[in-house]
Structure 1
Amino acid sequence: MGLETQVADYLHYSQVERGLSRNTILSYNQDLKEFMAYLKTKDLSSWNKIDRFVILDYLQYENKQNKARNSVIHAVSTLRRFFRYLMQEKFISENPMVQVSSPKQAHPLPQVLTETEVNSLLDAPDTSTKYGCRDRAILETMYATGLRVSELVHLKLDDLHLEMGLIQTLGKGNKERIIPIGDVAIDWLNRYLRDSRPQLLKNRQSPYVFLNAHGSGLSRQSIWKKIKQYVALAGIKKDVTPHTLRHSFATHILENGADLRVLQELLGHSDISTTQIYTHISKKRMTEVYRKYHPRA
């Protein structure tokens, strides 16, 4: 069997037997396609001729192509699974990946807005229009609660407990959590629910809080585009995504004295090590402020 045939069989096995998602299969296919293209340049036409030195040479080649570290890590993970499959199917007698260690994952600090930038962003929508009022309520809610964009678009009217200052959401792994929401965000939500949402609904029914022009729930992509639009209007030069507001919420609340465990609960992180990245951001921000304002820094 040729290399391409065995790769195709592996992808079919991953989809049918393991039930992996289409996106996962596509990413495996891309990694293996690039690996096979490299093997052709080395005239290697059999998996049994590939040892750990071939793998290491390939990874070095990938690094020289200026591949992102996380892309190389993903490629190693794909190859590890693929060669395990070849061993299982007895296409090879030795697994070359056994002696190949994965590069350490890069953890770049996420982009965060300053409080001044957040205020500029929140002020960007024209709140005299029904869409601007809705968008202001969206931005205020995201910054006040740290909701993921997927949680925001699935937010339902029954999830709002504004009289108690709380929002209920279903996060990753169907994990439910209750989040406090501040008075300013509550005021904008109430204004949107009273004035703008009925105009968007147009006598139709929808359980979702935030609606598009057709009275249906918003998509993640539409939120992303709206934020990009308002970032430009606010004159913010940073690369801002919906998740930037979540990062900014977490960083600002930590800088103002919140406990890390409380922040973990607010963000819905199952592991506190995920939350700890915000302590690094907070320290970085502290260093920047020190260097800017201390006369001898």
Structure 2
Amino acid sequence: MNEEHSLQSFIDYLKIEKHYSSYTFEHYRHDIEEFYVFMKEQGIGSLKDVEYSDARLFLTKLHDQGLKRASVARKVSSIRSFYRFLNREARILENPFSYVNLPKREQRLPKFFYEEEIQALLDACGDSTPLEIRNRALFELLYATGMRVSECSGLTLDDLDFSLSILLVRGKGGKERYVPFGSFAHDALEEYINRSRTTLTKHASEKHLFLNHRGGPLTQRGIRLILTKLIDKASLTRKIHPHMLRHTFATHLLNNGADLRAVQDLLGHASLSSTQVYTHVSKDQLRKSYLAHHPRA
């Protein structure tokens, strides 16, 4: 069995059937190629020759590298999925990773911005140049909808409905959901489309909502760079990653009394357990507020 051909078949499956983003399937590719290096080191000639003891040894090697439990779990999960695909395609008979226990992940509360920090970031956007107007609309929309950066970069003009202030979002696995956005995002988007986007666009046929300075679609990397620059400009001491706006969206909704299942639908979570982590954040903030203000706390 040709290992390189098997890997490419798996990547094609993730692209075509699972509709995974390039960011996701490149993680799979990297993890599996790392396992190929391990196989070579152990003198294992083929994927079908890997046994349960080899899988356990690979897990031990990952732990010896000092990797975090989440990283180890992801790598093992990638290879397990790969073997599951090979088994489905009748290229192997058994999955040696079926019985490998994944290490439990550390339960870390998601980081989020306080409302004062959100305002500082909005102030840092500016509103005079076409790029500043775009950045403000981008930030307002990410905070207003809690969408992923990958979802935001794929938005088109046709996905917006200004009459209802609602947005069609294409999420993981090609799943679609409608997400409303508020008046601040509505106004920022209208100003961007009417004043800024017309200046940035080079081709009338370009349908992507957010454009870069060359008139092409704004990529995920471009969005991350914009957010990093906003943090520097706002002089905030913490680092930003795009998912923090998603965390902030969910946390602020729950802190202000939103229903958990409604937040699940807005985020596009398949499982309620993925959304419940934000209730821990809300409870933690509630406890801190209690301890800070109750006279007999």
* Both structures adopt the same fold (TM-score exceeding 0.5): yes
Q: Measure the CA separation in 2 of the matches of 1:239 and 1:282.
A: 21
| Alignment of structure 1 residues 256-275 onto 2, 5 Å | 256-275=256-275
Q: Which residue of 1 aligns with 2:33?
A: 29
Q: Which residue of 2 aligns with 1:210?
A: 210
Q: Which residue of 1 aligns with 2:224?
A: 224
Cα 1:205–1:116 shift into 2, 3 Å? same
Larger mean Cα displacement after TM superposition, 123-132 or 56-65: 56-65
| Alignment of structure 1 residues 110-149 onto 2, 5 Å | 110-149=110-149
Cα 1:164–1:82 shift into 2, 3 Å? closer
Amino acid at match of 1:223: I
Cα 1:51–1:252 shift into 2, 3 Å? closer
SS in 1 for 2:124: coil
Q: Measure the CA separation in 2 of the matches of 1:288 and 1:217.
A: 43
SS in 1 for 2:178: strand
Amino acid at match of 2:65: Q
Cα 1:28–1:249 shift into 2, 3 Å? same
The yes-or-no answer on 1:197 pairing with 2:197 is: yes
Q: 2:5 aligns with which of 9, 12, 37?
A: 12
Give the CA deviation at 1:10.
3.4
Give the CA deviation at 1:159.
1.9
Q: Measure the CA separation in 2 of the matches of 1:253 and 1:219.
A: 28
CA RMSD in angstroms comes to 3.3
Give the CA deviation at 1:74.
3.6
Amino acid at match of 1:10: E
Q: Measure the CA separation in 2 of the matches of 1:96 and 1:170.
A: 35
Checking the alignment, whether the CA contact within 8 Å between 1:11 and 1:25 is kept in structure 2 is no
- 1:150-202 deviation digits (Å, cap 9, x = unpaired): 22222222222223222222222322222221111111111112211221125
Larger mean Cα displacement after TM superposition, 270-279 or 68-77: 68-77
Q: Which residue of 1 aligns with 2:185?
A: 185
Q: Could you state the TM-score of these two structures normalised by the residue count of structure 2?
A: 0.80
Cα 1:285–1:56 shift into 2, 3 Å? same
Cα 1:98–1:213 shift into 2, 3 Å? closer
Larger mean Cα displacement after TM superposition, 101-110 or 114-123: 101-110
Q: Which residue of 2 aligns with 1:153?
A: 153
Checking the alignment, whether the CA contact within 8 Å between 2:153 and 2:218 is kept in structure 1 is yes
Q: Measure the CA separation in 2 of the matches of 1:225 and 1:127.
A: 18
Cα 1:61–1:173 shift into 2, 3 Å? closer
Cα 1:89–1:120 shift into 2, 3 Å? closer
Cα 1:75–1:237 shift into 2, 3 Å? same
SS in 1 for 2:264: helix
SS in 2 for 1:177: strand
Q: Could you state the TM-score of these two structures normalised by the residue count of structure 1?
A: 0.80
Cα 1:69–1:127 shift into 2, 3 Å? same
**Which structure has the larger Rg?**
1
Cα 1:75–1:221 shift into 2, 3 Å? closer
Give the CA deviation at 1:11.
4.1
Q: Where do 5+ consecutive residues of structure 2 fail to align? A: 15-24
SS in 2 for 1:124: helix
Query: Sequence identity of aligned pairs in percent?
Result: 37
Amino acid at match of 2:6: Y
Checking the alignment, whether the CA contact within 8 Å between 2:10 and 2:82 is kept in structure 1 is no
Checking the alignment, whether the CA contact within 8 Å between 1:112 and 1:251 is kept in structure 2 is yes
Q: Measure the CA separation in 2 of the matches of 1:89 and 1:253.
A: 47
Cα 1:12–1:235 shift into 2, 3 Å? same
- 1:30-63 deviation digits (Å, cap 9, x = unpaired): 13424654x48xxx999989774x7556544532
SS in 2 for 1:110: coil
Divergent runs of 4+, >6 A? 44-51, 81-88
Cα 1:199–1:111 shift into 2, 3 Å? same
Q: Measure the CA separation in 1 of the matches of 2:10 and 2:283.
A: 47
SS in 2 for 1:276: helix
Checking the alignment, whether the CA contact within 8 Å between 2:31 and 2:75 is kept in structure 1 is no
SS in 1 for 2:102: coil
